Amino acid sequence: MAIDQTLRLLAKARGLTVTDIATAIPRAGVSTVSAWMRGDKLPGKDQLDALARTFGVPAGALLSELASTLDPARTKGEHDLLAAYRDLDTRQRGALLEVARSMAGHKRRKP
């Protein structure tokens, strides 16, 4: 999950508004926090640490998706495919995996 989605979900789960979050983060106004939650900007290290404290989660939980997008071994197409996959429901994911495996010549794995 992208960091903006993670921030929105955590804010909703904790019942925090953008203003609440901005108040808890040093040097971050409402417009900056709004930009993070839209995915227009990324928070810096100190801001990530403050966000993690605010939401009560490890900073790594906020960065897991970001780290995967920086993986130099993945192509843009792989990132696009992964993002599309994550938008699918369970049935659609299974169908997509079956198609991809058949195209790659892999046998279907039994669950």
Q: Where are the domains of the chain?
A: 3-69, 73-111
CB 34 within 8 A of CB 16: no
63-75 confidence digits (pLDDT tens): 765 555 555 566 7
Check whether 18 has a pLDDT greater than 90: yes
Distance CA 8, CA 88 (A): 19
- Residue 51 near residue 7, CB atoms below 8 Å: yes
Which band of pLDDT confidence, cut at 50, 70 and 90, is reported for residue 91?
very high
Q: Which pTM does this prediction carry?
A: 0.57
Architecture label for domain 3-69 = Orthogonal Bundle (1.10)
Q: Are 28 and 35 in contact (CB under 8 A)?
A: no
Number of H helices and number of E strands within the chain?
7, 0
| In the predicted structure, residue 34 carries a pLDDT above the cut 90 | yes
Q: How far apart are the C-alpha atoms of 35 and 30, rounded to whole Å?
A: 9
- What span, in angstroms and rounded, lies between the C-alpha atoms of 111 and 103? 20
The mean pLDDT of the chain is: 83
